[in-house]
Amino acid sequence: MTMILRWLTGFGRFWYGFIIGDDWTVAATVAMALVVTWLLHTAAVAAWWLPPLAAVAVVGVSLRRAGW
């Protein structure tokens, strides 16, 4: 039981680090940008430009938040 629990904790920690890392705003912005892109796409608006723009913007914000 303890081994399964340890494995599950390790598994969860790995995916948390992989997706969230040390700044949750990056993953949240990417998720939000993809949702908005999909909504615009369903409204017949070409929105391929949105995720790359949002990605570059959030990297800048994240660098600033980290004090770099």
Partner 1 sequence: MPSSCSANGARDLAVSHSSVFVTTFLAAAVEVIEMVIIVVGVGSVRGWRSTWLGAGGGLAVLAVLVLAFGAALTAVPIGALRLVVGSLLLVFGLQWLRKGIGRVGANGLRGMGERPAPGEGVPGHGVDWTAFVLSFKGVLLEGLEVAFIVVSFGLAAQALPSAALGAAAALVVIAGAGLLARGVVQRVPRSALQLLVGTLLSSFGTFWAVEGLGVAWPGSDAAILVLVGWYLLAAAGYVGVLRRRAHRLVAQEAGR
Q: Which amino acid is at 57?
A: A
Query: Are 37 and 66 a contacting pair, CB within 8 Å?
Result: no
Contacts with 34 (C-beta within 8 Å, 6 or more apart), sequence order: 51
Structure tokens at 25: 């705003």
Q: Count residues contacting partner 1 (CB under 8 A)? A: 29
Residue 8 lies near partner 1 (rule: CB under 8 A): no
Chain positions 35 to 64 lying near partner 1, rule: CB under 8 A, are 37-38, 41, 46-48, 51-52, 55-56, 58-60, 62-63
Instruction: Select 4 or 60, whichever has its Cβ closest to partner 1.
Output: 60
- Cα separation, 60 vs 54, in Å, equals 10
Contacting positions for partner 1 (CB under 8 A): 14, 17-19, 21-23, 26-27, 30-31, 34, 37-38, 41, 46-48, 51-52, 55-56, 58-60, 62-63, 66, 68
